[in-house]
Amino acid sequence: MSMEIVLISGMSGSGKSVALHALEDAGYYCVDNLPPELLQSLVELKLTHHDEKVAIAMDARSAQGLPQLPEQLERLKQQGLVPRMIFLDASTSTLVRRFSETRRRHPLSPGSLSSGRQALELDIEKERELLGSLRDRSVVVDTGDLKSSQLQSYIKQLIEVPNGQMTVLFQSFGFKHSVPMDSDYMFDVRMLPNPHYENELRPLTGLDQPVADYLRDLPEVRQMQQDIQQFLERWLPRLARDHRSYVTIGIGCTGGQHRSVFLVEALAKQFELQWPTLRRHRALDFRASFLQVSEQFLRPTQAPEAPR
């Protein structure tokens, strides 16, 4: 019997509980904070129960058992079970802010909540080093600017892609917001002509036909697309031969609204004929969430109905 196994790991405060909720909604049997030395036993137990989908979260709370994880993963591989590994990450400043907002103590901190920002930053960097080898084995998702609903959507997209073949994720972003930590390759396209300075195109995005037509007609945009495409055509097959499961290609412009979005869509359309392909537009997702919240605050309050 085959079994789908998803192993969620990552930095404390990066959203692992949110990811587990998404997997639970998708029909997975979920276990949080499983000691790595119990991984094999849990899988064997769930096989006897004929469970087809299992999701497991591991993090720094199981630090003593992490050195045993590579051996456990190799034993699963020998059984024909290859876990899909996802690592959630965020910048140190983002994690510090989240711990401050929730008033939680970092799991590696021996002190109290009042130990201070500097001590918290040291704990986070210690955790980053501790989980480094696990991060290298996984597809990395930067959750820094993601809302819970967006992270849940991303996790569901990742698990819907068939396992066993390298998946290519193209994501657009805006440098003025933040540089995503999860990109394996990053291309800066800020030198290209910017539709932001065209009045009729400014409110649109790279998903809209007028913007796509405008950019497609520019020789330098076509040259940039061709250069990135040729680079990826040369190196993606070699990455696949190196047993990579995921490759994330980041394309950034100033705001993440026009140029990077257009190029992500154009390149994804080219490469989806050869590889399982995902698309993500970080700035547009953030913009949509912001507009949704703004509409809630700006929506006029309905006047109470007059008594009859």
Residues tagged in the binding site annotation for ATP: 10-17
Residue 254 φ then ψ, to 5°: -65, -55
Question: Rounded to an integer, what distance in angstroms lies between the CA atom of residue 210 and that of residue 213?
Answer: 5
- CB-based contacts of 187: which residues, under 8 Å, 6+ apart? 224, 228, 249, 250, 251, 252, 263
Three-state secondary structure call for residue 231: helix
15: phi > 0 → left, psi -120 to 50 → alpha, else beta; which? left
Q: What's the farthest any 2 CA atoms get from each other in the chain?
A: 75
Contact 155, 86 (CB under 8 A): yes
Report the half-sphere exposure of 12 (CA within 13 A, side-chain side): 25
Question: Rounded to an integer, what distance in angstroms lies between the CA atom of residue 277 and that of residue 168?
Answer: 5
What distances in angstroms separate CA 249 from CA 7, 138, 148, 188, 218, one per listed residue? 22, 15, 23, 11, 22
Residue 91 φ then ψ, to 5°: -65, 155
Q: Strand runs (DSSP E) across the chain, as ranges? A: 4-10, 29-31, 53-57, 84-89, 139-142, 167-174, 185-188, 246-253, 277-281
Contact 4, 163 (CB under 8 A): yes
Element (DSSP H or E) covering residue 294:
helix 282-298
Which residue ranges make up the annotated binding site?
A: 10-17, 59-62
Which residue ranges make up the annotated binding site for GTP?
A: 59-62
